[in-house]
Structure 1
Amino acid sequence: MKEGFQMRICYTTDIENITQEGLQELFLSVKWESGKFPSEILKAIKGSHSVVTAWDGDKLIGLINALSDGVLTAYFHYMLINPSYQGKGIGKEMMDLMLDRYKGYQTKVLIAYPNVVEFYGKLGFKTEDGTTPMFISELI
């Protein structure tokens, strides 16, 4: 566990303390529809290649997960911070931990909503000419 700045923020790769309730609260705090499916989110997180979480005491306040082939490509699927904690460097710290974990990989990819493109750009992500993200989403 790595201690954070002035607050008592702790970062960990251990998923043992993640609960459905904690995930639901975090996902709904950023108004993501997937927060309505906490048991599925918990299964998804447990099935991830790796996970970094941020905690304020026993409260889950941030999460990033990676899906990977284990050699060449890492896809960062979820990256979210409770809005009450945004702008404090927590997202950057979590992403730095993930990028360090996958530093030898050829491709690191994510899909960014317009309001966070600048944030990810500062971390080294950029758009790639000729590509378009595409989805089939069953979320209501």
Structure 2
Amino acid sequence: MIAYKETKDFTAAELQELFLSVSWLSGNYPKRLEKAINNSDTVISAWDGEQLAGLVNALDDGEMTAYAHYLLINPKYHGMGIGRELVGRLKKKYQGYLYLILIPEDKKNVAFYEQYGFEVIEGGTPMQIKTL
């Protein structure tokens, strides 16, 4: 049974294992990743016993806008509704905000987010400065 927690109590190794399970580059920087997660305003995680199965995090301004940065599920837990549950909990946490924003890393993930009420920002273009 999957348990959900709003906590930042992770080890660098737990985070590294989760992020590398989905081949995310940030998994190669476990100490930096641990610090980044600890500095997030919100982190909701999914646990299978002692195994970190997935997480979502957000950064917010305390009133109007929250940015969901990570949503990832270890592939061995795909299809179990964990992503749906994490997104639902995040939406509930920020229900009084004007905006909950995220940028999917891959266009194939757009349909996943659309089923939970997210919309593509017409005319918008995600931008970044990549320093890794």
- Fold shared per TM-score above 0.5: yes
Q: Which amino acid aligns with 1:74?
A: A
User: Sequence identity, in percent?
Assistant: 48
- Counterpart check, 1:77 vs 2:66: no
- Counterpart check, 1:65 vs 2:57: yes
Gaps of 5+ in 1: 1-7
C-alpha offsets along residues 47-89 of structure 1, whole Å, 9 cap, x if unaligned? 0011000001001110100000010000000100000101110
C-alpha offsets along residues 28-56 of structure 1, whole Å, 9 cap, x if unaligned? 00000100001011101100011000001
- Counterpart check, 1:122 vs 2:119: no
1:2-21 map, 5 Å: 8-16=1-9, 18-21=10-13
1:1-140 map, 5 Å: 8-16=1-9, 18-112=10-104, 113-139=106-132
How many residues are treated as equivalent by the alignment? Answer: 131
TM-score (structure 1 length as normaliser): 0.91
State the distance in 1 between where 2:53 and 2:80 align. 12
Deviating beyond 4 angstroms after TM superposition, the runs of 4 or more aligned structure 1 residues are none
Gaps of 5+ in 2: none
Q: CA deviation at 1:115?
A: 2.1
C-alpha offsets along residues 79-128 of structure 1, whole Å, 9 cap, x if unaligned? 00000101110001011001000001001100112121111000000111
TM-score (structure 2 length as normaliser): 0.97
Calculate the aligned-residue CA RMSD, in Å.
0.7
